[in-house]
Copies of this chain bind each other. A is one copy, B any other.
């Protein structure tokens, strides 16, 4: 028998390499060769774990989705257990802040999210995964608003979803203008305007 290697762990390692390449040089540059080099593997090794270049990118996007989902779900539990209204508002703020590039880790994730999401427009094999990610975020925002008793959930869900996406985009593309402090202030203002009516 061969050297025992957890194949799923390997796949995740390769996905990490994809993320680093995408972050530094863009999704175009996430070729098998570049990713293999970044992962410290031979191109043949990468292809042993992924049948296809497409499958590699698809897996990376799903990996990103999983990670985001896990992080957000932890906050959901915390938000539900909030007692005072102030505590609850703060919990919602933190929860939605997980979707913004507020610190280096989340900034990395947002950069990767933006690259994959926009690429999915013309790369049809990425569309289903990108779609699931978007819908997940959308229903999350919808639930948060509904549970907070905000009326007119349809329009407000779209408004908050698009605001968060726009903040993430500008936080990634123009970090000197859309700084973490600015993003937090905008999010706080928006939430306040929702509860005040």
By a beta-carbon cutoff of 8 Å, the part of chain A in contact with chain B is: 24-26, 28-29, 111, 114-115, 117-123, 130-131, 134, 138, 152, 155-156, 158-159, 161-167, 169-170, 172-174, 177-178, 182, 185-186, 189-190, 193
- Quick check: B159 and A190 within 8 Å, CB to CB? yes
Given A118-B114, A121-B26, A122-B26, A158-B174 contact (CB < 8 Å): no
CA distance A81 to B105 in the complex (A): 48
CB-based nearest B residue for A25? B122
Copies of this chain assembled into the complex? 2
- Quick check: B173 and A162 within 8 Å, CB to CB? no
Contact of A162 among B115, B118, B169, B193 (CB under 8 A): B169
Pairs across A and B, CB under 8 Å, 22 listed: A24-B122, A25-B122, A26-B119, A26-B122, A28-B28, A114-B121, A121-B172, A121-B173, A134-B174, A155-B185, A155-B189, A158-B177, A158-B185, A162-B166, A162-B178, A162-B186, A163-B163, A163-B166, A165-B165, A165-B169, A166-B166, A193-B193
The smallest beta-carbon distance between A123 and chain B, in angstroms, is 7
A25 to chain B: which residues have CB within 8 Å?
A: 122
